[in-house]
Amino acid sequence: MSETTPVLALDSDLTIHHAAELKDRLLAALAAGTRCLDLRDVGECDSAGVQLLLAARRSAQQQGHTLSLAPVSEPVREVLQRYGLLHVLGAAA
């Protein structure tokens, strides 16, 4: 990843409790050029969080871009691994 890649750092949990507010924030960031999500400070992730990440990926693809996740916290990594999405979502250490 280049030093000039626009990054959005998320520090709230990727759960059903935060999904609505995070969706708006993510879509706005993607529209503004964000190409990487920094998830190192995310403490919890559930299926709503996974859906949110997949929607963000789809939105980026529709804009002709690739969205990467780097770095990713261990809780997020475990959930993505459980769903078989670690590499699909471009999650890096």
CA distance 32 to 17: 25
pLDDT attached to residue 93: 55
CA distance 19 to 50: 10
pLDDT attached to residue 20: 92
Low-confidence ranges of the chain (pLDDT < 70): 1-3, 92-93
CA distance 47 to 80: 9
pLDDT attached to residue 91: 76
Q: Which two tokens stand for residue 42?
A: 């995310």
pLDDT attached to residue 87: 87
The residues near 27 (Cβ < 8 Å, ≥ 6 apart) are 56, 59
pLDDT attached to residue 13: 96
